[in-house]
Amino acid sequence: MSGGRDDLGMLDIVAGRLTVALQAARTAQALAATETADQAREPAREAAENISAALLLLKELGATPYAPDAGTDSLARLSVLRTPQSERLSEALRSARDIAEQVDAERGDRVPETVALPPGEIRGTGWAEEIGRLSRRLDTEVFGPSGPDQPEA
């Protein structure tokens, strides 16, 4: 990166593309949870398209985004993702998220009750949101997209 105004403009575009991608991915996630996979396909495609565009812009700026080696067998790692320790960590993060919800409520850092939330979303906008993000990431890694409340495959 040369650090000039053009780079800042390109970074603004990258941020915009990633924001759109995140919104599209959340829409796809909500549709997949409440509707059919077919209805989730279009927003998922939009998310992928925007992520690809952002990566191309980052490469133009001189960044080298991480990409897993195509020769790596990622399925071999799946067996080590769901272990007793990772399940304990997942449970601990969910408990921490629940406590953080209470802290956020005390501080007034929450989405009002009058606002409808998608399934699985939390009202806390402070610590609960941060811990919740970690918790969801680990739950998906350990239990798959259906989460910890679903029976093991």
Residue pLDDT tens, the chain, 153 long? 455 667 778 888 888 888 888 888 888 888 877 777 778 888 888 988 988 888 888 888 888 766 555 555 545 455 677 889 999 999 999 999 999 999 999 999 888 888 888 877 888 888 998 898 899 888 888 888 777 875 554
Tell whether 55 and 88 lie within a shared domain: no
Residues 88, 139: one domain? yes
In a domain, 153, yes or no: no
Is the pTM higher than 0.95? The answer reads no
Q: Is 121 exposed, middle or buried (0-12, 13-18, 19+ CB in 10 A)?
A: middle
Residue 43: per-residue pLDDT:
86
Which residue is listed with tokens 């990772």? 86
Expressed as residue numbers, the domain containing 32 is 5-60
Count how many domains the chain has: 2
Query: Residue 35: inside a domain, yes or no?
Result: yes
